Amino acid sequence: DAGVTQSPTHLIKTRGQQVTLRCSPKSGHDTVSWYQQALGQGPQFIFQYYEEEERQRGNFPDRFSGHQFPNYSSELNVNALLLGDSALYLCASSGRDREYLDTQYFGPGTRLTVL
């Protein structure tokens, strides 16, 4: 059973550019959440998608947007990149798993560097 997968692994962009990160949830999961983890800090919640709609959002500007597809995979888009957007971006999936109800499982992350 494949876990949560993310692509790409690493990405280097320059200020002002746009970036798209991708996530495939664990099999059987229908909810995807995105987190930003700056160096030396804990992950911070960006937003969550369920049934192709944004269900919750953290304190992130509108430059951060997302999408969920019918197969439950998801994309995170960041426009007008700033140096401060450099971070590890983590995707987590969850669903009505019989034993681990509502537990979020994390992917390996995408390391974004903005120069």
Partner 1 sequence: AQSVTQPDIHITVSEGASLELRCNYSYGATPYLFWYVQSPGQGLQLLLKYFSGDTLVQGIKGFEAEFKRSQSSFNLRKPSVHWSDAAEYFCAVGARRSASKIIFGSGTRLSIRP
Cβ 16 to partner 1 shortest distance, Å: 27
Q: Is 68 a residue that touches partner 1 (CB under 8 A)?
A: no
* Count of Cβ atoms closer than 10 Å to residue 113 Cβ: 13
Q: Is 101 a residue that touches partner 1 (CB under 8 A)?
A: yes
Cβ 78 to partner 1 shortest distance, Å: 19
DSSP code per residue over 28-47: T--EEEEEEE-TTS--EEEE
Name which position in 24, 48, 68, 74 contacts partner 1 (CB under 8 A): 48
Angstrom distance (rounded) from CA 77 to CA 110 = 13
Peptide bond into 8 cis (omega under 30): yes
Give phi and psi for 84, each to the nearest 5.
-70, -5
Q: Is 90 a residue that touches partner 1 (CB under 8 A)?
A: yes
Q: Is 31 a residue that touches partner 1 (CB under 8 A)?
A: yes
Chain residues binding partner 1 by CB under 8 A are 4, 31, 33, 35, 41-45, 48, 50, 56, 58, 90, 92, 94-96, 100-109, 111
